[in-house]
Structure 1
């Protein structure tokens, strides 16, 4: 098994876990939330998508549907 902490920091892991908890297994939802997470990170001038970016994306995605 690969040690996840070697590949990603905790903020990135939290973002990935959050994405997989809210995507409902639907590829379109994964794409929408991932895209919104990238936009959120960009507007916050972050170099990575972290938990706060993913949380904002999930909030935005769920309120618009």
Structure 2
């Protein structure tokens, strides 16, 4: 999630083939709660379609 200078909260999505810039999209919301809800719904939709979560790996 991200926040802009006017106080809106956003969800940034990026997809595409590995090795390319792919596509991206920003969805803006008036509150952090709404943005978190939208992100949660998006994750639920992707998991229902068979996507898997990939957790960030620590550097080292």
- What's the TM-score, normalizing by structure 2? 0.42
Greater share of residues in helix: 1
Q: Compare CA radii of gyration and give the structure with the larger one.
A: 2
Q: Which has the higher strand share?
A: 2
TM-score relative to the length of structure 1:
0.40
